[in-house]
Amino acid sequence: MELPIDYMTLRVIWWGLVGVLLIGFAIMDGFDMGVAALLPFVAKNDSERRAVINTVGATWEGNQVWFILGGGAVFAAWPFVYAVSFSGFYLAMFLVLTALILRPVGFKYRSKRPGKAWRRNWDWALFAGGFIPALVFGVAMGNVLQGAPFSFDSDLRATYHDMFLGGLLGLFTPFTLLCGLVSAAMLVLQGSTWLGLKLEKGIVRDRALRFGFFAALAVIVLFAAGYVFVRFSGLGFSVVDAVNPAGASNPTRAEVVPMAGAWLANYSKYPWMWAAPALGFVGPVVAIFGQRLRSDWLAFGGSSLAIVGIIGTVGCSMFPIILPSTVDKHSSLLVWTASSSHLTLFIMLLVTLVFLPIVLLYTAWVYKVLFGRISTEHLKTNPDLY
Amino acid sequence: MDLSTVELSRLQFALTAMYHFLFVPLTLGLSFMLVIMESVYVLTRKEVWRTITRFWGLLFGINFVLGVATGLTMEFEFGMNWSYYSHYVGDIFGAPLAIEGLMAFFLEATFVGLMFFGWEKLSRPAHLMVTFLVALGTNLSALWILIANGWMQHPTGAEFNPATMRMEVTNFIDVLFNPVAQAKFVHTVSAGYVLAAVFVMGVSAIYLWNNKWTSIAKRSMAVAAAFGLASSLSVVVLGDESGYALTDNQKMKLAALESMWHTEKAPAGISVFGIPNVKEQRTDFDIKIPYVLGLIATRSVDTPVVGILDLTDKAEMRIRSGIIAYDGVEKLKVNADDMDARALFEAHKADLGYALLLKKYVPDPRMATNEMIVKASLDTIPNVPVMFWTFRLMAGLGFAFIALFAIAFLMVTFEKHNNRLFLLVCMIAIPFPWIAIEAGWVLAEIGRQPWAVDGVLPTFMGASSLSKGQIWATIIGFTLVYAIMAVIEVRLMIRAINKGPYESKLGRMHDDPEVSTTDDPALPVVGPAE
């Protein structure tokens, strides 16, 4: 059967779609994580904490699906990436999953008993469920940029070569920690601008905005530090020789080697890509201005733009590489060599084009129904709130 | 205890999947029961039905979060512990998982928040629609997961591509309308409905026993009895059996759960009792009802049900054929333009997976001895005693539920639901659907062994290259977290049940049938948000 879109184009489209899903996840689930990470610090007593929790109380479940969908989409579109990264970052994934498991349970169960200790424990569980994933996702991004120690045999079975403490501690280097901090700051900013939108004016909201200001500054400084590191550390990988972009999905057919400055090469080749890092800096500035001008929407929009820019920067810097191998020249995963078959990519594109707009429509409707600030008055009168 | 990484990964998957499936069936069934209860509320406008819906909705919520939380693990566990599996079949298997997220899970998760928080913000019909969308989403979730699982049982619409060393989709429609997946879906969601009905009936029985909240309990029990009767019939009648004649592995599964070593003259009888004797390959003390198995499994009177030993003979032939395909693949790796190798591969590719069974004994299947081939063919027999007993446990309970709901239906219809013995039976019944459902999962997954994907990829090939320490760390970690969650969940459930369907908004602390059966003008009218 002749498909109406050629294989190479589909592969590029899916590179973009995975990026869209990652960004969707960071924007939507990002404010949940940021709110949870801020919870113990911006809200001091139970009614303050309930107010903060209820800003995301009705919507965190839907937002979390972006994470699950991200996993499913990577599985369907880039089975190699799904297979190699989650088993390679095994214990880190375990850490993230346990932290994320605490979150739904924390939201739902905290309100079910009045006990002080009960609620305080869940508050810290929620903090862990917000902060740990926010940090580890950044560390994971850092490891993707830095490359991972895996190789394929001729059956395309992956093995890992650096098993220092189960491969967990090997993931934490100065650079990947820096990336983790960028991610944590970015999501805390997202959470703080969300609280700015959803909380009634008062002391909790003021504290959240103050955290947001420092988070925005941190995003700018840390993102710049990331650039400096990439520019001067010799980090980067480059594809040797042209790889047929419509060839079979077999990573061993491409040769990828470390090369200083390679992560910056795309920007001279495709100057439009500068838009991504530029947004990474403009976004937090807009967020700060939004807060100064008392425009909560502008602040939230700026923070979301920062997410688009920063995640976009990782994608643009690496294209067409997805996950480089540090130990084997013929194992790195490329957009051209690690995707699903032509037919699967095409079918999944159709499914996405039909269902993603529907999802966005009803999500928007739900947010419209729930529109408005959470006040302490609500907490007293509405028995359904957490 | 010395377990290989494969065994450890299987243990971990079994633990996390079976734990996940403690919560999912209740979500599947209770969500539709909420739709029924709320529909009655919307149609009759009687406050009591609103209270009923909100009460069961509360229990639904406590259960739902754990289903969601443990589902997170499942979504990533294939990549974490079954890396080679993920590569080998990701082209097919990943799609239903992604579609599940996009089409089903988004639906249920986005609306579930509104279901809990939207009572004051939505009109009655709009809120009912939200509840319905949650139920639809959860059940569509089950559909896509079972399409993925059904493909593992009956991998249709795909073939091996030597250039990418994996299975690739050739016909997506076949994957979607896989008959095994369809049968599994109906069977599994019906089982979830039965579980929810038994749960609602049992909790209602507790209230009736204690003479508390009777107007709520009586009505809930009526809904559960009717819903449960229909579902328990559907779970047995539309059982998994219909798929058992399709593939060699499905045939093997059927033969194993019947402990039927030799092909029997059609139509075969079904064992009601027996003791499988694996060593001597026969069934001791076998008591059979004639004809029944043949009729169920083949839907005919003249097709024989094939026995285990005839199936292993066939497996041996397929292993020999698979070795030729394997040889073709190895030659194509070296030279993709080798026409002879490609021709051999094409002729034998359907059996490639069978050659991989030999990798348990020898790195290169082409070097296998005759003895190894015979051993590998015997590996295609799943654990017969486990199959035999879990099937009888599951099916026996299935019939018991039909009886329970038939009685319940009569009791409710003739207003005899205060009979103490009946209430006691309802309460005792609560845990049994969980046992039946977990037995069903064991039956389906143990029955598929030694395959991860029937005839395509042996389970031991699918595991990630992890160390035992890593897997132990996560097994212990998940077990700890899950155990704590289970204790908390059960406590909260019991607390909520003890507290009863008390509506704080209306301040109705006592169950007063005079007030709660009709709309009381003195109470605030709950309508659309202003």
Q: What is the pLDDT of residues B284-294, one digit of tens each?
A: 777 777 666 66
CA B194, CA B174: separation in Å to the nearest integer? 30
Interchain pair A356, B102: CB under 8 A:
yes
Amino acid at B353: G
**B97, B120, B164 ranked by CB distance to A75: nearest:** B97
Q: What is the dihedral of CA A38, A44, A50, A51, to 10 degrees?
A: -70
Q: A239: which strand partners?
A: A256
Minimum distance, in Å, between the CA of residue B185 and any CA atom of chain A: 20
CA B496, CA B509: separation in Å to the nearest integer? 14
Give the DSSP per-residue string, A160-214. Answer: ES--TTTTTGGG--HHHHHHHHHHHHHHHHHHHHHHHHHBPSSHHHHHHHHHHHH
Instruction: Report the residue of A50, A340, A353, A365 to disrupt the B interface, i.e. the one with the largest count of B CBs within 10 Å.
Output: A340
HSE (CB half, 13 Å, CA atoms) of A186?
35
Select from B316, B319, B340, B312 the least CA-distant residue to B328: B340
- Measured between CB atoms, does A353 come within 8 Å of chain B? no
pLDDT of residue B520: 39
pLDDT at residue B1 is higher than 70: no
Q: Vertex B162, ends B156 and B165: CA angle to 5°? A: 80
CA A312, CA A27: separation in Å to the nearest integer? 13
Interchain pair A362, B110: CB under 8 A:
yes
pLDDT of residue A1: 63
Instruction: Report the residue of A11, A80, A96, A101 to disrupt the B interface, i.e. the one with the largest count of B CBs within 10 Å.
Output: A101
pLDDT of residue A362: 95
Residue located via tokens 């579980």: B195
B-chain CB neighbours of A65 within 8 Å are 101, 105-106, 109-110
Label residue B298 by pLDDT band (50, 70, 90).
Answer: low
Can you give the pLDDT of all 386 residues of chain A as single tens digits?
Answer: 688 999 999 999 999 999 999 999 999 999 999 999 999 999 888 888 888 898 998 889 899 999 999 999 999 999 999 999 999 888 989 999 998 888 888 888 888 888 888 888 899 999 999 999 999 999 999 999 999 999 999 899 998 887 655 667 778 889 999 999 999 999 999 999 999 999 988 889 999 999 999 999 999 999 999 999 999 988 999 999 889 999 999 999 999 999 998 999 999 999 999 999 999 999 999 999 998 898 999 999 999 999 999 999 999 999 999 999 999 999 999 999 999 999 999 999 999 999 999 999 999 999 999 888 888 777 777 777 77
Select from B465, B80, B77 the least CA-distant residue to A159: B465
Label residue B530 by pLDDT band (50, 70, 90).
Answer: very low
Interchain pair A347, B172: CB under 8 A:
yes
Structure tokens at A279: 């947004």
- Measured between CB atoms, does A356 come within 8 Å of chain B? yes
CA A264, CA A271: separation in Å to the nearest integer? 11
What is the SS3 assignment for A71? Answer: helix
How many cross-chain Cβ pairs, A to B, lie less than 8 Å apart?
A: 257
Interchain pair A156, B492: CB under 8 A:
no
- Measured between CB atoms, does A72 come within 8 Å of chain B? yes
**B65, B99, B469 ranked by CB distance to A166: nearest:** B469
* pLDDT tens profile B122-149: 999 999 999 999 999 999 999 999 999 9
Select from A53, A46, A60 the least CA-distant residue to A386: A53
* B178: CB partners within 8 A, 6+ apart: B147, B150, B151, B154, B156, B157
| Overall average pLDDT of the B94-121 stretch | 92
Q: What is the DSSP letter of B283?
A: E
Select from B218, B192, B189 the least CA-distant residue to B206: B218
Distances A107 to A37, A375, B76, B226, B332 between C-alpha atoms, Å: 13, 18, 22, 34, 55
Interchain pair A108, B117: CB under 8 A:
no
Label residue B244 by pLDDT band (50, 70, 90).
Answer: low
A-chain CB neighbours of B66 within 8 Å are 104-105
pLDDT of residue B256: 82
Select from A303, A277, A279, A275 the least CA-distant residue to A289: A303
Burial of B219 by CB count in 10 Å (0-12 exposed, 13-18 middle, 19+ buried)? buried
A320 C-beta neighbours (distance < 10 Å), count: 18
Helix (H) or strand (E) holding B277: strand B270-277
CA A90, CA B398: separation in Å to the nearest integer? 40
- Is B15 in contact with B475 (CB distance < 8 Å)? yes
- Measured between CB atoms, does A57 come within 8 Å of chain B? yes
Label residue B509 by pLDDT band (50, 70, 90).
Answer: very low
CA A76, CA B462: separation in Å to the nearest integer? 17
Interchain pair B495, A112: CB under 8 A:
yes
Q: In this structure, what are the phi and psi dihedrals at residue B341, rounded to the nearest 5 degrees?
A: -60, -40
**B102, B107, B496 ranked by CB distance to A351: nearest:** B102
Average pLDDT, rounded, for chain A: 91
- Measured between CB atoms, does A31 come within 8 Å of chain B? no
pLDDT at residue B507 is higher than 50: no
Q: Is the peptide bond prior to A320 cis by the omega test (within 30 degrees of 0)? A: yes
- Is B198 in contact with B228 (CB distance < 8 Å)? yes
In chain B, whose CA is at the least distance from the CA of A369? Answer: B121
Distances B218 to A356, B158, B419 between C-alpha atoms, Å: 43, 52, 12
B-chain CB neighbours of A250 within 8 Å are 163-165
A1 C-beta neighbours (distance < 10 Å), count: 7
Chain A segment 246-285 residues within 8 A of B by beta carbon are 248-250
Q: B453: which strand partners?
A: B457
Instruction: Report the residue of B68, B333, B498 to disrupt the A interface, i.e. the one with the largest count of A CBs within 10 Å.
Output: B68
pLDDT of residue B3: 67
CA B406, CA B424: separation in Å to the nearest integer? 16
Interchain pair B83, A101: CB under 8 A:
no
Model pTM score: 0.90
* A296: CB partners within 8 A, 6+ apart: A193, A196, A197, A290
Amino acid at B419: N
Helix (H) or strand (E) holding A150: strand A150-152
**B68, B80, B166 ranked by CB distance to A93: nearest:** B80
Minimum distance, in Å, between the CA of residue A232 and any CA atom of chain B: 34
Q: In this structure, what are the phi and psi dihedrals at residue B238, rounded to the nearest 5 degrees?
A: -95, 40
CA A143, CA A228: separation in Å to the nearest integer? 17
Select from A383, A348, A12, A39 the least CA-distant residue to B55: A383
